[in-house]
Homo-oligomer: A and B are copies of this chain.
Amino acid sequence: MRFANSQSLFRRAAAVIPGGIYGHTTPAATIPGSVPYFAASGSGCRYTDVDGNTFIDFMGGYGPMILGYHHPEVEAAATAARQLGAAFNHPTSLLVELAEKLTQRIDFADWSVFAKNGADLTNWSLMVAREVTQRPKILKIRGAYHGTAAWCTPGHGGLIPSDRADILEFPFNDIPALEALFNFHRNQVAGLILTPFHHPAFADSVLPTPEFVAACNRLCRDHGALQILDDVRCGFRLSADGSHSVFGYTPDLAVYCKALANGHPLSACVGRTPHKAAASRVFLTGSYWGDPAPMAAALATLDIIARDNIPARLTALGERFVTGFLALGEKHHTPLVASGPPAMPYVRVADDPSFLRTQALCAAAIAQGVFLHPHHNWFISAAMTEADIADALARLDRALASLRP
């Protein structure tokens, strides 16, 4: 498999873009030299890079493509809305329909707002929690990703001390640490923000213990702090009505994004009636946020997710994939470790603290036409069939064989 065009384009990119490719799609975060750097087109659960290599895609654009590239119903809805126009002086009726849809779908949701990035609304949710409580401090999980704003970016550049003066971190699933923070900062905590399960980069995924979920619910309630569920990555993949229902969280605010509109740029934050007036006092806007096409895509995507029970489908496909992958690891004497829910699995080589063997495995998978990320959870696509999973496993069998000394 050759990546000559990717590498040539990257040299052009490096001349006119800091780092060549920035953010989560930078080759530096994957396996430079062994991965494509630029995509050309996608269809269903496969995409083709600029060298003509085609991959069975287990990343789906890092989450958005839950139904696969070019889902005909979603694209038809988005295209019809695009015919109406783009940025107007007013929203369209799709804003109302989508807010109604989310409040009907999500049990605790009484209202909704929409933006483009997940981070637009994780940032806003902190301000809403502060406006509701008139308190400054936010509790957050160490290593959790909520965007690239200064209060939460995983990067190190450009930060100043005041950025995180009121952000307090603790480890996922650590009830005593959470309890200690609430007690030490009594009447100062505006909110707790967390993802439904912990899916850090460069580490295994961790599901919440039932005791941790109960503690989050109890402590937020007892201390009068808002529970903010960052469901950007998981939302509508684990359950058609939001991931809180899977684990038993009782959020006050929840943010959705990636799977919401099958690749069209849209995010949503939902909340409860007691916080609606405060939410209306936290100014929120963007030039393109009324754009009807992504809202039409979201209405179609949400309907399909419920109609076709997509979360169950993703789970079944993911279980088949992970089980098969682990069995192949045993066959080839390369012990593998799986973590995360089957719909969003992560598999790495055991006893691999440097990730070098996991990188080699993913590079071999990519060489066989299966796109896997060595340091980030994966995403099963509803466009996959059992035959696609079997195809992927057959390729991974060859990939594992190629790794033998």
Name A's B-contacting residues (CB within 8 A).
6, 9, 12-13, 16-19, 21-25, 36-43, 47, 49-50, 57, 59-65, 69-70, 75, 79, 82-93, 95-96, 99-100, 102-103, 110-113, 116-120, 123-124, 126-131, 136, 148-150, 153-162, 165-166, 232, 257-258, 262-265, 271, 276-291, 371
Bound CA–CA A47/B100 (angstroms): 25
Across-interface contacts of A130 in B (CB, < 8 A): 158-160
* Known contacts A22-B284, A288-B265; is-contact A17 B154 (Cβ 8 Å): no
A92→B39 contact, CB < 8 A: yes
Interchain nearest-CB distance for A401 vs B (Å)? 25
A89→B112 contact, CB < 8 A: no
B258→A287 contact, CB < 8 A: yes
- Which residue in chain B gives the minimum CB-CB distance to A138? B160
B287→A62 contact, CB < 8 A: yes
- Which residue in chain B gives the minimum CB-CB distance to A84? B41
A127→B150 contact, CB < 8 A: yes
Across-interface contacts of A257 in B (CB, < 8 A): 287
Specify which of B19, B70, B123, B258 is in contact with A85 (CB 8 Å cutoff): B70
Excluding A116-B286, A130-B160, 20 further A-B contacts by CB distance (< 8 Å) are A17-B99, A17-B113, A18-B277, A25-B89, A36-B90, A38-B93, A39-B88, A39-B92, A41-B83, A43-B85, A61-B87, A61-B287, A61-B290, A63-B287, A116-B116, A116-B117, A116-B288, A118-B287, A124-B158, A131-B158
* Known contacts A96-B9, A118-B287; is-contact A47 B89 (Cβ 8 Å): yes
Bound CA–CA A390/B59 (angstroms): 54
Bound CA–CA A278/B157 (angstroms): 8
Shortest 9 CB-CB distances between A and B: which pairs?
A23-B285, A155-B283, A127-B158, A86-B263, A61-B87, A157-B281, A42-B85, A39-B88, A18-B280
B86→A61 contact, CB < 8 A: yes
B286→A117 contact, CB < 8 A: yes
B112→A47 contact, CB < 8 A: no
Across-interface contacts of A118 in B (CB, < 8 A): 286-287
